[in-house]
Every structure is written in C-alpha cells, then in structure tokens.
Amino acid sequence: MKNKYLIGGGIIVIFLGLMGYLFTQTNISYENDFTQVMHTSKTIKATGSMVKEKKYNYDPQKHILTFYLQDNEGNVMKVLYKGSIPNNFESATTLVVTGKFSNGYFHASDILTKCPSKYQEEYTESSNS
C-alpha cells in the first residue's frame, strides 16, 4: 500500500518538474527594438517590416531565404531562414520572426507574415467629406 503512494507521488513530482521546465523554455518574449535583439542570446520574437529596397534572396537548392528587416527606430538586421518562402511574404506589411541573433545575423526558425486586410476600408479624399 505504501509503495503505491510513493510511486504515485514520484510520478506527480516528475510531471510537475517537466511542466515547469517546458514552461521556462517556451517563455519567448517579443522585441521591437533590434538593438536589444542583437544583444541577447535567448530565443526571441522580433517584429519589423521588410526592407523592400534591399531585395530578398532565396536559394531553392539549399532552401535558404535571406532578407532585411527594419524596426520602428530604423535599425536594420539581416535575417536568415531555412525553409520555404512563407505565404504572402512579398505583400506582407509586418513580419514576426522567431529565432536567435548570432554571428551578425538573425537566424529565424519561424516567420509569421502580417498582411493588410482585403476587407479594410481604404481612405480616400471623397470619404473624408
């Protein structure tokens, strides 16, 4: 009878420890200032807009996408992403990249594109009257 309680208690302790560890690993913060992104070694979500003047490059053989991202302060960083080009990448107004900054590049493991809504009403001079 006592062994059942010890085994059950051990399973609960292991489960709680595992949950605590997973919670600390998935605690990813958002950052809009690339100077902060460049000085951290943690996995982070960086938000910015793609620099259209600097063309993106996609190597279909290696599946590597490189492009430049700009924050609200005008800071620019180069992003490397291994994978396919995300949907609506070219028309995206804002990109959220998840990854780590190292060796002068932001190594993205995930890219989220935010595009203007096709249902959003466009502002015109006639609608202002």
Asked whether the whole model's pTM tops 0.85, one would answer: no
- So where are the chain's domains? 30-114
Whose tokens are 């466009």? That residue is: 122
Please give the full DSSP string across 65-87, using - where no structure is assigned: EEEEEE-TTS-EEEEEEESPPPT
Question: What is the predicted pLDDT for the residue at 26?
Answer: 56
Looking at the predicted structure, is the pLDDT value of residue 118 above 70?
no
Looking at 3.40.50.1980, 1.10.10.10, 2.40.50.140, 3.10.450.40, the CATH number of the domain 30-114 comes to: 2.40.50.140
Rounded Cα gap, residues 25 and 118, in angstroms: 36
pLDDT band at 106 (very low <50, low <70, confident <90, very high): very high
Looking at the predicted structure, is the pLDDT value of residue 129 above 60?
no
Looking at the predicted structure, is the pLDDT value of residue 78 above 60?
yes
Higher pLDDT, 116 or 100: 100
The helix/strand/coil state of 111 is: strand
pLDDT tens digits, 30-71:
667 788 888 887 888 899 998 888 889 999 999 999 999 998
Question: What is the predicted pLDDT for the residue at 115?
Answer: 75
Higher pLDDT, 80 or 116: 80
Higher pLDDT, 128 or 93: 93
> How many beta carbons lie within 10 A of that of residue 31, not counting itself?
18
Looking at the predicted structure, is the pLDDT value of residue 75 above 60?
yes
